[in-house]
Amino acid sequence: MSPIALVTGGTKGLGLVTAQRLLADGYRVFVCGRNDPGDLGALEFIRCDVRDPQDVAAMVADIRAKAGPVRVLVNNAGGSPPSDAATASPRFAEKIVGLNLMAPLWLSQAVHADMAEHGGSIINISSVSALRPSPGTSVYAAAKGGLLALTRSLANEWGPNIRVNAVVVGYIETEQTETTYGTDEAQSGISRNIGLKRLGRSAEIADAVAYLASDAASYVSGAVLEVHGGGERPAFLDVLEQAGQL
């Protein structure tokens, strides 16, 4: 019987590529979202609002009844539109924190009992926004930073049968690349500022997730794996260059 994996937000973008990679690795893969995406091939869709703990518990129980206990959980669902921190409404902030921090907690709680008994791996998808200032998405950055703290704490609290890790995602190409990063010229400018001089590929994040889910990472827990191409060049260096001081 194939082990069971659940990828939240796995109907498109990075989540879909990750779900397809786990499927190729031999998992029976469930994906969830609020809207049915239609045909996903061998991936199995369950409608769920991951911000609702009761909805989450019902989904995990449904998966258990259909296929067995979840062995790999990828908390991928997340994101945020731009928002000025000075005027972000309480409702907006609650939704962003709910999706990016509380939802991974509800999902982790929902799979905890089965994983504690049968073993399992939880992989939280975070962002470079958690590691550096993120003006315009401060609430999102705070939530993703909290997700890293949650990762480390759960890894220590829930061992030895449950491993909990995080992947910090950099600038990644998806079907929404132009919407996210602008024109080809803008993307080239962003790329020049990254150590590896290019945007990342969704498959490269999926590779990191597949590693953390596998036995090759059997002694990796509480880790934060930064998949960001070497990070961003500090802006002050450009200022010094323009001033002729570098």
> Which are the catalytic amino acids?
140
DSSP-derived secondary structure for 14-62: HHHHHHHHHHHTT-EEEEEESS--S--TT-EEEE--TT-HHHHHHHHHH
| Cα distance between residue 230 and residue 164, in whole Å | 23
Q: What is the DSSP letter of 99?
A: I
Length of the chain: 246
Q: Measure the CA–CA gap between 7 and 25, rounded to whole angstroms.
A: 14
Q: Which amino acid is at 89?
A: S
How much of the chain is helix, strand and coil, in % rounded to 5?
Answer: 45, 20, 35
